[in-house]
């Protein structure tokens, strides 16, 4: 049977809202400034923007505050908010190859053109609680770090060629198996097999934890596939649109921070018998490195045939969305009285039937 809605409870719901506010603020010395969340909890803000599919750091910080740090709830708020806004333009194609990088590494090659740059990372930092942060003076630290300004050259190149480009030039890379037309999952109904652009769009706004778990399962148990990060880069890209009054010109709207990952996967033999490498691709809003790597692993898994869960297109693409998964699981908290009563009715009838069958069965 279908779900039967309930009504009423208005006063209790309003009171619950007030109580929620009370628990959020009752022990606080001051209300959290959203700018503090935006500027000091960068990874949290980036994650909410990425999973919400909306690049708006101020609003992501607000959503985090409103949701009291519940990431799924915050991403949900972002997704709900975006649905209230008009979409006025599409950007011109962003090429992360033109990225103004702040971090760029390769696990495959020691020497890459332009060199590797660790940039802002905790990869090599000891996992020890830093108690000095409890009494940190922001301005003292800022002044100290400002003093360490290196020499700089305004003519310095700020973007670098991709590592994969070198492999491509040498004819070592396979083209992807699937492609298809440009698809928009926010406007068109998804059917399977999905075009490559739809897969990438779903993964780009997928939930980090779900994607990491599936990518981990792919690497750990089900295949011998252990990809290598050919290149991971974090930095800024320009967003441009065609100028609305003259499409031969472009308008620059500012910069976004993105993380891009290209993984190098197992090599295979092509139809001509040549052995080539397969590349996986990940691109996310903000600095979301684990998610971008997971995206590259998952999209590559979906390009190959196999029996593992991470190679099942429908399984992966329908379960990585934070809003859908969280919404479906948490809706179990809402009243299901009629559904459950009907379950009980069926159980009682079955028991009654079993009882009557027992009494009717002649004893031997």
How far apart are CB 211 and other proteins at their closest, in Å?
15
Is residue 165 within 8 A of residue 97, CB to CB? The reply is yes
CB of 258 to other proteins, least distance (A): 8
- C-alpha to C-alpha distance for 71 and 51, rounded to whole angstroms: 9
Q: Taking the complex as a whole, how short is the minimal distance between the CB of residue 68 and other proteins, in angstroms? A: 23
59 with 67: CB under 8 angstroms? no
- Give the shortest CB-187-to-other proteins separation in angstroms: 9
What CA–CA distances, in Å, run from 211 to 7, 98, 116, 296, 319? 37, 27, 27, 10, 9
Based on CB atoms, which residue is closest to other proteins, 17 or 268?
268
Say which residues have a Cβ less than 8 Å from residue 344's Cβ, sequence separation at least 6: none
**CA separation, residue 142 to residues 117, 135, 139, 149, 281 (Å):** 22, 14, 5, 12, 36
To the nearest whole angstrom, how small is the minimum distance from the Cβ of residue 355 to other proteins?
59
Nearer to other proteins, 73 or 303 (CB): 303
Cα separations (Å) of 28 from 18, 24, 136, 146?
A: 16, 8, 19, 32
Minimum Å gap between C-beta 131 and other proteins is 25
Sheet of strand 275-285, all strands in order from the earlier edge strand to the far edge: 100-105, 228-242, 250-269, 275-285
Q: Which is nearer to other proteins, 31 or 156 (CB)?
A: 156
Q: Which is nearer to other proteins, 277 or 325 (CB)?
A: 277
Beta-bridge partners for 232: 105, 261
Polymer length in residues for the chain: 364
Pairwise CA distance, residues 64 & 193, whole Å: 35
Strands 250-269 and 275-285: antiparallel
DSSP 69: T
Closest CB 130 distance from other proteins, rounded Å: 19
Nearest residue (CB) to other proteins, 91 versus 338:
91
Residue 58 or 314: the one with the smaller Cβ distance to other proteins is: 58
Would you give the distance in Å from CA 217 to the centre of its chain?
17
- CB closer to other proteins out of 278 and 319: 278
């Amino acid at each position: 049977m279908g779900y039967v809605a309930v009504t009423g409870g208005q006063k209790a719901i309003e009171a619950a809202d007030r109580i929620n506010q009370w628990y959020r603020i009752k022990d606080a010395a001051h209300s959290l400034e959203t700018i503090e969340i935006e500027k000091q909890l960068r990874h949290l803000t980036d994650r909410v923007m990425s999973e919400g599919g909306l690049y708006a750091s101020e609003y992501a910080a607000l959503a985090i505050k409103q949701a009291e740090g519940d990431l799924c709830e915050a991403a949900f708020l972002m997704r709900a908010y975006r649905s209230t806004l008009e979409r006025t333009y599409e950007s011109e194609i962003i090429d992360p190859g033109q990225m103004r990088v702040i971090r760029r590494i390769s696990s495959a090659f020691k020497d890459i053109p332009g060199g590797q740059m660790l940039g802002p990372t905790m990869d090599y930092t000891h996992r020890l609680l830093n108690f000095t942060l409890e009494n940190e003076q922001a301005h003292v630290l800022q002044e100290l770090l400002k003093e360490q300004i290196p020499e700089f050259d305004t003519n310095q190149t700020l973007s670098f060629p991709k590592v994969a480009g070198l492999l491509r030039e040498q004819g070592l890379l396979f083209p992807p198996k699937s492609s298809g037309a440009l698809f928009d999952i926010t406007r068109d109904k998804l059917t399977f097999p999905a075009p490559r652009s739809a897969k990438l769009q779903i993964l780009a706004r997928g939930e980090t934890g779900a994607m990491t778990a599936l990518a981990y399962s792919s690497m750990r148990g089900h295949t011998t596939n252990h990809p290598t990060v050919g290149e991971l880069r974090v930095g800024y890209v320009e967003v441009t649109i065609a100028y609305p009054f003259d499409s031969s010109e472009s308008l620059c709207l500012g910069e976004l921070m993105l993380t891009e990952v290209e993984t190098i996967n197992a090599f295979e033999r092509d139809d001509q018998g040549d052995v080539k490498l397969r590349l996986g691709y990940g691109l996310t809003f903000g600095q979301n490195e684990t998610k971008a790597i997971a995206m590259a692993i998952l999209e590559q898994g979906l390009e190959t045939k196999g029996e593992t869960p991470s190679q099942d297109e429908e399984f992966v693409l329908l379960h990585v969305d934070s809003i859908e998964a969280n919404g479906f699981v948490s809706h179990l908290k809402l009243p299901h009285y009629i559904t459950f009563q009907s379950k009980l009715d069926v159980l009682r009838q079955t028991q009654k039937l079993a009882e009557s069958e027992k009494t009717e069965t002649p004893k031997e």
